[in-house]
Amino acid sequence: MIQVHSVSKKYNKHFAVNDLSLTVNKGSIYGLLGSNGAGKTSLLKMIAGINRQDKGTIKIDNITAYENVAIKERVVFIPDLLYFFPQATVAQMASQYKEYYPSWSQERFEQLTPAFNIELNRKVHRLSKGMKRQVAFWLVLSAMPDVLILDEPIDGLDPVMRQKIKNLLFQDVAEREMTVLISSHNLREIEDLCDHVGIMHQGKIIIEKEIDDLKSDTHKVQLALSDPTHEEHLLNKLNILHHEKRGSVLLLIVRGNEEQIKKAIHSTSVILFDLLPLTLEEIFIYEMEDVGYEIEKILL
Ligand SMILES: Nc1ncnc2c1ncn2[C@@H]1O[C@H](COP(=O)(O)OP(=O)(O)OP(=O)(O)O)[C@@H](O)[C@H]1O
């Protein structure tokens, strides 16, 4: 479990992280989204115990993370810029990991060999960008961490390898209750992988949701009423996030239970009615609009 409470970090009088609180439950995969410079990497480095916050507390399983060797052995961070020892082969890097992480599983490392299919005697610095990332996942998953922190993890991986790595992460979360925190710019990637998602902007979490709740609670509705004078009455009965009119067709983004929405709409006479699913990206656009942000400016 990761507990971040009221954490701030300043660089040259500028807040990279500003009074931020966040909890990632054990066995959960939390996706952290946000614009360039939002403070994601700064936050991840503090959670990984690499940098120290100016204010607030960060705990892993109720223990303070910074400069705590026992915690560092259980928490693994894959940064966006990977580092391997110069000239080291895959096998030599595996030996280093084995020495550092008491939870290292040689059996897992060997089991994963066919999944990654990179020769053990290859020098890591000579591998392609995507292959280096594969090696990073191979090593980290063999270290069997309790907490895995990933900064832009999927960058450079081909679609087959992305899927393999996602499946391996799911396996560790399901079997060992590994806790995962992922920073990404890609909402679709996060949608596939995470059960919770938060958006960071200017050092703060501005919106945070459980993905299943978001999806089952937000709907796109298209409808046309046989008597347009009933429109206002119907709209007042619904919890509307967004509302547009194209000719006689109303396009609504509505929060709430699907059956109750249908019941409210069918209590008025309609000549057209469709209830459509929304992507996570669409839900966030409307949710962010609702709290006064333009998501395109924040995420892209
Ligand atoms: N070591 C540092 N020294 C000075 N300023 C820093 C340092 N690290 C981060 N910052 C500043 O803190 C702010 C947040 O940076 P951070 O790297 O945490 O953002 P990010 O959300 O990870 O961005 P990106 O999506 O571009 O990777 C930025 O304004 C950055 O310039």
Strands 179-183 vs 29-34: parallel, antiparallel or unpaired: parallel
Ligand 1: does its nearest atom lie under 6 Å from the Cβ of 228? no
Query: How much is the ipTM here?
Result: 0.97
Q: Could you read off the pLDDT of 70-120 as tens digits, one per residue?
A: 888 899 999 888 888 889 999 999 999 999 999 999 999 999 999 998 999
Q: Could you read off the pLDDT of 137-178 as tens digits, one per residue?
A: 999 999 999 999 999 888 788 999 999 999 999 999 999 999
Q: Whose CA is nearest to atom 28 of ligand 1?
A: 37
Q: How far apart are CA 288 and CA 118, in angstroms?
A: 43
> pTM for the full model?
0.84
| pLDDT given for residue 296 in this prediction | 60
Average pLDDT over residues 12-35: 94
Give the pLDDT band (50/70/90) at residue 288.
confident
Give the pLDDT band (50/70/90) at residue 295.
low
Place of tokens 């046989």: 226
Best of 42, 155, 186 to mutate for ligand 1, by most ligand atoms within 8 A of CB? 42
Q: Whose CA is nearest to atom 12 of ligand 1?
A: 16
Q: Whose CA is nearest to atom 16 of ligand 1?
A: 39
Decide: 136 and 82 in contact? Cβ < 8 Å. yes
HSE toward the beta carbon, residue 162, CA cutoff 13 A: 13
Decide: 35 and 295 in contact? Cβ < 8 Å. no
Ligand 1: does its nearest atom lie under 6 Å from the Cβ of 201? no
Task: Please give the distance, rounded to the nearest whole angstrom, from the Cα atom of residue 37 to the centre of ligand 1.
Answer: 5
Contacts of 144 (CB under 8 A, 6+ apart): 101, 103, 104, 105, 108, 172, 176
